[in-house]
């Protein structure tokens, strides 16, 4: 379905064109990082809609669906921003049930969510499959951290300085904007713009 053309959609179409030019075949994972409440999820949803407009198979996931339980996090010590940054997410499950099976393609099924952080409970896994050419858009805090960054084909970061304590720790260790191939200023969601590389 053709989307209504707005400045935001026009901008995201340019990003989608760039992604498809380099990654239009096979399985591709696009990761979107940024500070707390920077609009990562909305950007990922909107970019997915633009890619679907191109009749490309698109799947969505969020790191929110791969939290560790509060009990599991407690095994790593007191509840601090440092603990949340280092151990708040179940990266093993992320790799095992989403990234690795998605990469295999074909009839291999994958899961886009295993945990509900609001209820602090497992969710019933929904195993899904997709065509050989498909794209996964994953948004979330810390997805461009060094130990995960190499998992993604396209790395996008939202511009903005961290205000949350856990984000400050993450940015001090490794600013996701430096790991990203695309940095987007989304402070005005109606008129996002690409940030010129200043590295």
- pLDDT tens digits, 128-172: 999 999 999 999 999 999 999 999 999 999 999 998 999 999 999
Q: Is residue 10 very low, low, confident or very high in pLDDT (cuts 50, 70, 90)? A: very high
Residue 195, beta-bridge partner list: none
Contact, 113 vs 65, CB < 8 A?
A: yes
Residue 115 three-state SS: strand
State yes or no: pLDDT of 192 exceeds 60. yes
Q: What is the pLDDT of residue 196?
A: 79
Mean pLDDT of 14-34: 95
What count of other Cβ atoms lies within 10 Å of the Cβ of residue 19? 24
Q: What is the pLDDT of residues 30-81, one digit of tens each?
A: 999 999 999 999 999 999 999 999 889 999 999 999 999 999 999 999 999 9
Q: How confident is the model at residue 121, as a pLDDT?
A: 95
pLDDT of residue 105: 85
Q: Which residues contact 112 (CB under 8 A, 6 or more apart)?
A: 59, 60, 61, 65, 98, 126, 128, 136
Domains of the chain: 7-185 (3.40.50.300)
pLDDT of residue 107: 83
Give pLDDT, residue 197.
64
pLDDT (average), residues 98-110: 93
Average pLDDT over residues 99-124: 94
Is the whole-model pTM more than 0.85?
yes
Tell me what pLDDT residue 109 has. Answer: 96
């Amino acid at each position: 379905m053709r989307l209504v053309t707005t400045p935001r959609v026009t901008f995201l179409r340019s990003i989608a064109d760039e992604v498809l030019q380099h990654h239009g075949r096979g399985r591709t994972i696009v990761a979107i990082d940024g500070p707390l409440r920077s609009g990562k999820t909305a950007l990922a949803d909107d970019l997915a809609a633009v890619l679907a407009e191109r009749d490309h198979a698109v799947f969505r996931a969020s790191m929110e669906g791969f939290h560790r339980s509060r009990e599991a996090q407690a095994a790593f010590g007191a509840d601090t921003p440092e603990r949340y940054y280092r151990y708040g997410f179940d990266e093993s499950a992320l790799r095992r049930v989403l990234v690795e099976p998605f990469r295999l393609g074909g009839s291999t099924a994958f899961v886009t969510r295993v945990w509900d952080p609001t209820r602090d409970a497992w969710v019933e896994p929904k195993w899904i499959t997709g065509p050989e050419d498909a794209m996964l858009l994953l948004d979330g805090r810390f997805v461009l951290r060094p130990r995960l960054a190499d998992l993604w084909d396209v790395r996008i970061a939202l511009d903005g300085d961290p205000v949350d304590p856990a984000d400050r720790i993450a940015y001090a260790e490794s600013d996701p904007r430096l790991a990203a191939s695309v940095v987007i200023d989304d402070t005005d969601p109606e008129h996002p713009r690409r940030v010129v590389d200043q590295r």
